[in-house]
C-alpha cells in the first residue's frame, strides 16, 4: 500500500494569533518595568534566548505567563530576566551593551521588523562592541532541494519542497536569510567588520560564542561590530 503523505507543518490558528497579540498588548502596557534593560557591567544580552541560559548574561524573550494549576503543585520554569515583544523598540538607553548574541530569532520577524530590530541592537551596543547572530541558512535548504545537502539531518525531510516549506512557513518563521542578505542588512544599519564565523568556535569576542549545537546543521553565524 502506498504511504499516505502527512505534512509535518501547519500555520498558527486564529486563536493562537489572538492569544499572542493579547499577551503582547498586556505585557507592553502593564509590565513595562519587566522590559527595561538595566545598566550593569559587563552587559551581555541574549536576544530571543528560548532555553539557552548562560551565567553572566541577561536574557531577553517574549512575555512569560506561567500556567498555574491550583489543584496541583506549581511547577517553576526559568524565564528570561527581560521580557518584551521584539517587534517594538527596546526599552534601553543608547550605547550600554558590551556584546549581543541572538540565535534563531530574527527569522521569526517579518523583514521590516527584522531590520528595525537590527537598528535597535546597533543603537544599544557600545561603540567597538560586537553583535553575534545565527539563523537558519536558506542556502543550505536550497542546496538540499537541488540534491546537494551537506548534513545528514536534511534527509529527515521526505522531499526538498518539504524542507523549503519548513524553513519558510513552520515554527512561526516570517523571513528567510542567507549570508548575502544578512551582510547587506547589517551594513545598511551601520555595522562594520561583518563576517561569517565558525559555528561554536570562532569569534572576535569569545564571550559571545554560545550557539546551541543541536542547530549547527542548518545554521550560519555572522558577527558585526559597531564602529568606534
Query: What 3-state DSSP class applies to 145?
Result: helix
Cβ atoms of residues 227 and 192 within 8 Å: yes
- Alpha carbon 33 to its chain centroid, in Å, reads 22
Hey, what's the torsion of the CAs at 157, 183, 90, 52, to 10 degrees?
Answer: 40
Does 169 have pLDDT greater than 70?
A: yes
As a whole number, mean pLDDT of residues 113-131 equals 98
Q: pLDDT at position 12, please?
A: 84
Q: pLDDT at position 79, please?
A: 87
pLDDT band at 122 (very low <50, low <70, confident <90, very high): very high
Gap between the Cα atoms of 96 and 159, Å rounded: 46
Does 6 have pLDDT greater than 80?
A: no
pLDDT band at 149 (very low <50, low <70, confident <90, very high): confident
pLDDT band at 5 (very low <50, low <70, confident <90, very high): low
Q: pLDDT at position 142, please?
A: 96
3, with CB counted inside 10 A (0-12, 13-18, 19+), is exposed
The per-residue pLDDT of the chain, averaged, comes to 91
Domains delineated in the chain: 14-135+185-225 (3.40.50), 138-176 (no CATH)
| Model confidence pLDDT, tens digit, residues 48-86 | 999 999 999 999 999 987 654 444 454 446 789 999 999
As a whole number, mean pLDDT of residues 30-56 equals 95
| Model confidence pLDDT, tens digit, residues 202-224 | 999 999 999 999 999 999 999 99
More confident residue, 95 or 64: 95
Q: pLDDT at position 77, please?
A: 66
Looking up cell 543603537, which residue turns up?
Answer: 123
Cβ atoms of residues 57 and 34 within 8 Å: no
Angle between helices 111-124 and 179-189 (to 10 degrees): 50
Cα-Cα-Cα-Cα dihedral sign, residues 16, 85, 36, 200: positive
How many C-beta atoms lie closer than 10 Å to residue 100's C-beta? 24
Q: pLDDT at position 15, please?
A: 93
As a whole number, mean pLDDT of residues 111-125 equals 98
Does 9 have pLDDT greater than 90?
A: no
Q: pLDDT at position 118, please?
A: 98
Amino acid at each position: 500500500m502506498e504511504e499516505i503523505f502527512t505534512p509535518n507543518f501547519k500555520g498558527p490558528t486564529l486563536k493562537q494569533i489572538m492569544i499572542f497579540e493579547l499577551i503582547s498588548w498586556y505585557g507592553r502596557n502593564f509590565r513595562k518595568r519587566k522590559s527595561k534593560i538595566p545598566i550593569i557591567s559587563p552587559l551581555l544580552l541574549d536576544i530571543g534566548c528560548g532555553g539557552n541560559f548562560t551565567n553572566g548574561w541577561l536574557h531577553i524573550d517574549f512575555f512569560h505567563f506561567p500556567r498555574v494549576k491550583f489543584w496541583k503543585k506549581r511547577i517553576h520554569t526559568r524565564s528570561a530576566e527581560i521580557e518584551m515583544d521584539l517587534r517594538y523598540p527596546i526599552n534601553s538607553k543608547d550605547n550600554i551593551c558590551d556584546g549581543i548574541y541572538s540565535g534563531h530569532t530574527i527569522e521569526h520577524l517579518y523583514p521590516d521588523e527584522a531590520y528595525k530590530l537590527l537598528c535597535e541592537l546597533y543603537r544599544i551596543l557600545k561603540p567597538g562592541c560586537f553583535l553575534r547572530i545565527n539563523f537558519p541558512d536558506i542556502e543550505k535548504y536550497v542546496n538540499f532541494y537541488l540534491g546537494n545537502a551537506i548534513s545528514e539531518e536534511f534527509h529527515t525531510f521526505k522531499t526538498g519542497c518539504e524542507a523549503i516549506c519548513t524553513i519558510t512557513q513552520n515554527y512561526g518563521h516570517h523571513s528567510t536569510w542567507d549570508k548575502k542578505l544578512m551582510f547587506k542588512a547589517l551594513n545598511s544599519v551601520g555595522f562594520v567588520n561583518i563576517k561569517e564565523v565558525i559555528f561554536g568556535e570562532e569569534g572576535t569576542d569569545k564571550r559571545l560564542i554560545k550557539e546551541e549545537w543541536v542547530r549547527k546543521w542548518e545554521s550560519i553565524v555572522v558577527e558585526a561590530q559597531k564602529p568606534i
